[in-house]
Structure 1
């Protein structure tokens, strides 16, 4: 017993010494009042350093922190150069070349009571570099795919958490991903819980030094409310002890369930994550994708606490859609735009193919198409104030038109997104306007056209309707490419 206590004390002291080194290196950004948080002027969006910010991004890896040196910094620089300010980062270790958290001994086995210093140094470097560039990080604590399946989808056979591979756990302590994720809490598996607490304590002691991190408990979770709420409460308590305010969500498989969950526990969660709305397997294509966002926004707004941000850290779709669960590249780009026109607070292209050839790719990552889209989005956001606008439904498409999407700062400005194809829209400004200016943004050419002054037409009125006439603005692009019409009221 005495030897056991000495060993525990020694391990705790080593952890303190290691963390002390990190704390000495990392600047203190906590408590400056400018961290990422819901926008005070419109809590459906985020603000950073006191200014509203639309989070848009694309990257080629889910766990970017596992990259080092110029491989990471050049990727971040490229994304930032085309207008990206948002990345996903799972604390995952399922890819070849990824480091594990536990220290490996000379005999090949792992000691779960000792950390691999290089693991935490990679995370510190990643947080430093993203913070320098003011790139917001959405950090996922647990990714159950790390211990499930085989190959690129899990490495349980070689993972330190497999009792066969460590010196700490008796055989059978855990047998699969379910035992570690969710099962540890449900079955009060104390050795596993002790490790999890120590891991999260170490992670949070580093992450809480920064002001640009959003927190997600699980990736595509089906582990239940007890597990998710436990860790959400745990990290919020850690933040409170450190004098920090953090913002937490949990991503579930069904996007609607994700929204219900965070709405039910608004004392724990402060934003929703609906990435599964952005794929063919669990989400819709076309207008239904946009309709979902509008519905969830309305339901959240009806709660006593009012609006909160809706994030989309993964937008699926690649190529011609050989991965039928993900969808096509065309749909991915349109989903990216629809998230913005649906009033979402963030949107990011998911990582590309895991295998050579790309036939099983989930997203387009930071490809040339993604870079072009980020440039286009920023040119649009520079001209249209989304933070004072809302998704707008007072418009109609002519028969046989493709679906289009609109936002409006009612009576002041309107934006209509035409994904491409044969499209004509009748826009009702709702308030009486005599003159408007119209500018067309050619998304493919990344160019704005000349401003035109237009007088909306009266609709036909025979004098018998009690409603009376309305002014309608007809908008039609010059060709079948993707465009945005920007309409501003003059009179």
Structure 2
């Protein structure tokens, strides 16, 4: 009988999200397996489909409606940019871009000192109290819903148009700082500008220390314009600023697009994020023994399938974080109901968020933080050409994912035990087939043949 597990999984995740903050501090690395997280006393993967990072800096964005939608699907992560960077309408062909607020609706941590109707001027030595209140409101609302916030302190300046509207540009501040090309802004080449950046980091760390649902990312896509020395300075500033404070927060570094090997990890960096990541981003960095995340997707069309399979394959490789960039969230549709169509360079929407809820629930049920490659368990597999099998195992459990139909067969070398298994559609959460197996070990391996499936399928097998 076909039954849906979506409601059950969403209820479990929502109940977890409403758990009160504990005394064990902010989100941290899981002691038993530091390639994953611990949040409020529970092993945690961060899985979401979130807006384009303007929830704080765009004054027209309804934070509550947005976070309610994440909670509804049991999703537990979001990125937000600090307001040291913003975009313009039309940047990267994004319709209704939340990172491109309307005139007069941009919130920056630096105080806007010009009068309405005058060209914008910011004071890099003064801070906007209203901005920090809005930021704390966002973190509070997120904390109440079990959502962990990635706070991106800086972002590279991709083109001269983005540099022209940035508060750190001398044309836009009263301090005369930023008389330099955009490629030098995040490089330690200009001491006075770096001093303002460091001062802002210290101010931010002091303001946000109370929150347990927070980690810092140094810079978005630094490989397009921020050098390693500057990134190390920002990470060291966070650590030093928190030294005398009660709570210590994780620091992430965005390392590369696609994949890359971290050769010289900064001891102040807690974990590494990639954009548009492939599974090799995880396996290439197993030596770090730290979480590896894929915290931005896109540029592969608007369909759900490509991003769903990307999520499954990345997390089955051992990834600990997946954040789909969801373009259905706009200022006009903070509940994520905007239609996503070309030329917008990614996907998203309610149906996709449901798929991420299914994914999160299955990985949690399988306790993937206790799993590893199924080298001794996998006896053989029969796959259709072009499909991929990802399989993990731990004592008493096997989790397998195939990204392309219409079917496949699997031989598992199981220890004698009674097992229950389910074949699940990762699009809907429907159970396509299920059964029980009393395996006595008399034969070489247990045979499993999937039901027919259109796009991808999951097998979860648990000892009873």
Short-chain TM bin: 0.7 to 0.9
Structure 2 equivalent of residue 342 of structure 1: 317
Which 5+ residue runs of structure 1 have no aligned equivalent?
1-28, 278-288, 301-306, 321-327, 460-468
The alpha carbon displacement at 1:248 in A equals 1.2
Structural RMSD (CA): 3.0
For the residues of structure 2 that align with 1:256 and 1:399, how far apart are their CA atoms? 26
**Residues 255-274 of structure 1: pairs in structure 2 closer than 5 A:** 256-257=259-260, 259-261=261-263, 264-265=264-265, 267-274=267-274
For the residues of structure 1 that align with 2:455 and 2:446, how far apart are their CA atoms? 24
2:96 corresponds to 1:114: no
For the residues of structure 2 that align with 1:427 and 1:65, how far apart are their CA atoms? 50
The alpha carbon displacement at 1:61 in A equals 2.1
Structure 2 equivalent of residue 376 of structure 1: 358
Indicate conservation of the 8 Å contact 2:371/2:393, yes or no. yes
Which 10-residue stretch deviates more, 205-214 or 265-274?
A: 265-274
Aligned match for 1:148, one of 145, 154, 159: 159
Q: TM-score when scaled to structure 1? A: 0.75
2:294 corresponds to 1:312: yes
* Aligned residue pairs, count: 411
2:65 corresponds to 1:74: yes
Aligned match for 2:405, one of 383, 404, 421: 421
Structure 1 equivalent of residue 450 of structure 2: 476
Q: Bigger relative contact order, structure 1 or 2, given CA contacts below 8 A and separation 6+?
A: 2
Indicate conservation of the 8 Å contact 2:81/2:151, yes or no. yes
Structure 2 equivalent of residue 487 of structure 1: 461
**What is the CA deviation profile of residues 4-51 of structure 1, one whole-angstrom value per residue up to 9, with x for unaligned ones?**
xxxxxxxxxxxxxxxxxxxxxxxxx99932320011222111111111
Structure number with greater Rg is: 1
Structure 1 equivalent of residue 392 of structure 2: 407
Q: TM-score when scaled to structure 2? A: 0.79
For the residues of structure 1 that align with 2:301 and 2:327, how far apart are their CA atoms? 10
The alpha carbon displacement at 1:175 in A equals 2.8
**Structure richer in helix, relative to its length:** 1
The alpha carbon displacement at 1:209 in A equals 2.1
Which 10-residue stretch deviates more, 100-109 or 215-224?
A: 100-109
For the residues of structure 2 that align with 1:231 and 1:31, how far apart are their CA atoms? 28
**Residues 56-455 of structure 1: pairs in structure 2 closer than 5 A:** 56-67=47-58, 71-91=62-82, 92-94=85-87, 95-97=100-102, 98-100=106-108, 101-106=110-115, 107-108=118-119, 109-145=121-157, 148-150=159-161, 154=162, 156-169=163-176, 173-182=178-187, 185=188, 187=189, 189-222=190-223, 223-254=226-257, 256-257=259-260, 259-261=261-263, 264-265=264-265, 267-277=267-277, 289-297=278-286, 299-300=287-288, 307-317=289-299, 319=301, 329-352=304-327, 358-365=341-348, 367-381=349-363, 383-393=365-375, 394=378, 396-398=380-382, 400-401=384-385, 402-410=387-395, 412-429=396-413, 431-433=414-416, 436-448=419-431, 451-454=434-437
